[in-house]
Amino acid sequence: MVKITFPDGKTKEYPESISGIEIAKSISPGLAKEVLCMNVDGRMCDLSAKIEADAKIKFFKFSDPEGQELYWHSTSHIMAQAVIRLFPGTRVAIGPAIEQGFYYDFEHEPFTDEDLLKIETEVNKIIKENQKFERKEVSRKEALEFFRSKNEIYKVELIEALPEDAVISMYTNGEFTDLCRGPHILSTGTIKKFKTLATSGAYWRGDSKNAMLQRIYGISFPSSEELEMFLKIREEAEKRDHRKLGRELDLFSFHQEAPGIPFYHHNGVIVKQLLIDYWRYEHNKDNYKEIQTPQLMTKSLWETSGHWMNYKDNMFVTEMEGVENAVKPMNCPGGMLWYKAGLHSYRELPMRISELGHVHRKEFSGALSGLFRVIAFTQDDAHIYMRPDQIKDEILGVIRLTDRIYKTFGLEYSLALSTRGEKYIGTLENWELATAGLKAALDEYGQDYVVNEGDAAFYGPKIDIYVKNALGKAWQCGTVQLDMNLPERFDLTYVDENSDKKRVIMIHRALYGSLERFLGIILEHFGGFFPLWLAPVQVSVMPVSDKFNDFAKEVLSKLTAAAFRVDFDERSEKIGYKIREAEGVKRIPYMLVIGEKERDTGMFTIRQHKKGNIGEFTLDSFIEKIRLERDNRALPEGYKLEL
């Protein structure tokens, strides 16, 4: 008999050599229908795998990230099988699960929309065949012989990079065999709904020196409802693509003369500056002191920080009078020099030091993606220097500040604690102290969080903060990192109450993450319909004809005097056209149509985007209404997708 221990601590005995699916069936038929894979003593396994000894197991469903990844990766195998059936001689490369779905790369001429429909039909045929996924472990030599016989040059290249003594797993379903570590679903019939999404070119291994392959993206779900919801959200996401909105709202552009570096237009500068002003407002409330450090610093600094050895390939390096310099890829080392510029007493701690630092990092052109992945960006950094007894309170302060900022934008967020991995620096005592401080702060804060065991960076444990936008898409923005590496490397100290030098403890933290990425996130979050306080143009004044221009200019003057950003649309266009453009293209929150009634009565019918006419106001009452909305940073109605 073998004793199986479940996540809740309960145990149950089974006959030796029992499979995971048999255990699931013994618990309930319903569970057996839902589970996709299992973790056995820390190792992910197929449900068909036999358990020969006492073990701890955990099952995963599609609702679990592990289950989703397996479901989508298994579907990528099915899609590759379909492509080879339809287009014999096609070579296959790789087919991983990604954040939403999966892709597979093929050596083939570009696929057409008609090809994608054929592939979709063939995938559904393979699903109905309910082929079993069967795992086979082979030696490196056997794997090379197999894939060479199939002329699968990309698989051969992957295998050749593995050690001589590697044990390699291959998975077969039907006539298709792929190189894969697994695990996989039990059979192709587990997949219920599938759809091809798009196709594009992709260099093998992301290197432009390699062959151009053809990538097909796909998605699959256990139900029609989930697929329909995904497609609905995807359609809305395409409308909200920040690159499209950036052009429509005249916020920013990209040019080949400066790849990966945004050009901010006038409207973009307004929004960026408003984000900075709000950031400074919240940080001033929490007694942060803002500094600026140089963008160009010598090689010796980056050697001390460790970046020269570990990060040089991502840095822009130049030489001046025989001395190598680097454009900073992050702000931290400069912050260390700032701290070392003076002596510090325990009475000064904690010191909360913020910096909006412009940084540059080398990125492959294929990795660049609008504002989400750029070469130059502004990090909203802060470094908190503190004593060991201040860890919990400072972490709590950062989380509360994060909460205030994200709620202002209507962003939900979740928390994750990453703990020490196998590679680390510093003493176990310091690690335990730091981890306990983070955990105590999270426990006291009271919001649920997950623990990612062994996922910390080598220099300290951290809290990752994930925001969720109006479409339900999650982004990692905030990070709270305890660092015991840089204070050691730079010999950062303070003088304690006994006049002894002590090593300072430091927090790195960013809340926006970067201004560029955060701007992209909230652009898509609001669908371009910014809250009034953040809108580059807040009110549009529209005279119905030239004869009302003088009065319209008086209205414009009063709104401008009240510190609102106003567009004066005096074009000789029909008023309906002006309204549609102001609301649908420029996404201006409020519109005032100026005609004879408004001039003679002083009463204005106000139009608000997404709501239409909201009633009649005097100009003073309207100004007071929008002043309150602006000053309270109220969220716009209707920005969330109704699911």
- The residues carrying an active-site annotation are 332, 361, 379, 381, 383, 462, 508
Closest C-alpha to 449, from 466, 468, 430, 433: 466
Quote the distance between the C-alpha of residue 476 and its chain's center.
Answer: 5
Beta bridge partners of 71: none
Strands (E), 562-611: 566-568, 590-594, 603-608
Quote the distance between the C-alpha of residue 634 and its chain's center.
Answer: 25
Helix ranges, 457-514 (H): 486-489
- Distance between CA atoms of 317 and 299, rounded to whole angstroms? 9
For 265-282, letters b (16+ CB in 10 Å) and e give bebbebbbebbeebbeee
- Distance between CA atoms of 25 and 31, rounded to whole angstroms? 7
Sign of torsion over alpha carbons 578, 583, 588, 590 = positive
Q: For residue 110, which phi and psi values (nearest 5 degrees)?
A: -50, 135
Which are the contacts of 547, defined by CB distance < 8 A and separation ≥ 6? none
Residue with the two structure tokens 């010191």: 351
- Distance between CA atoms of 329 and 604, rounded to whole angstroms? 52
* CB contact at 8 A, 402 and 518: no
Share in percent of the chain as helix, strand, coil (round to 5): 40, 30, 30
Residue with the two structure tokens 């106003």: 566
- Distance between CA atoms of 97 and 31, rounded to whole angstroms? 24
- Distance between CA atoms of 82 and 551, rounded to whole angstroms? 68
- Distance between CA atoms of 5 and 11, rounded to whole angstroms? 4
Beta bridge partners of 449: 415
For 55, 472, 519, the CA distances from 530, given in Å and listed in that order, are: 53, 18, 11
- Distance between CA atoms of 546 and 569, rounded to whole angstroms? 11
- Distance between CA atoms of 480 and 419, rounded to whole angstroms? 13
Residues across the chain: 643
